[in-house]
Amino acid sequence: MRVVYWIFAGLLAALAGLFALANRADVTIDFWPVGPSFAMPVFVALVGALYLGFALGALVAWLAQGRTRRRAREAVRRAAALERELAQVRGAAVAPAAPSAPPAPALPPAPPI
């Protein structure tokens, strides 16, 4: 499986390198209402936009899963508390009790038929 991964990763890196070489022309990025404009190669702008989109998507997914993570933490705490309680109950059940009535004598063997 590692060989397939490295072949795929190598091909992807080669394609990214070819994309960068083919898109070296400058493009001007202008954030008109809030800041200055600056020039950068096209591939930097595109790859930067992809990384920014990935990071924002990961943040939104992480925030959306907050309730699930909280419920999982609560379930772990509850399971630990129940395990402690079970250990206490088992410890109390194993403790020797006061002697009670002597055991009943064994029955005689049944006669053959």
Query: 31-73, pLDDT tens digit by residue?
Result: 888 888 889 999 889 889 999 999 999 999 999 999 999 999 9
What band does 109 get if pLDDT is binned at 50, 70 and 90?
confident
Query: Average pLDDT, stretch 71-83?
Result: 97
What b/e sequence results for 72-96 when a residue is b if at least 16 CB atoms lie within 10 Å of its CB, and e otherwise?
A: eeeeeeeeeeeeeeeeeeeeeeeee
What band does 96 get if pLDDT is binned at 50, 70 and 90?
low
pTM of the shown model: 0.57
Query: 4-34, pLDDT tens digit by residue?
Result: 999 999 999 999 889 888 888 999 988 888 8
Task: Give the C-alpha separation, 60 to 85, whole Å.
Answer: 39
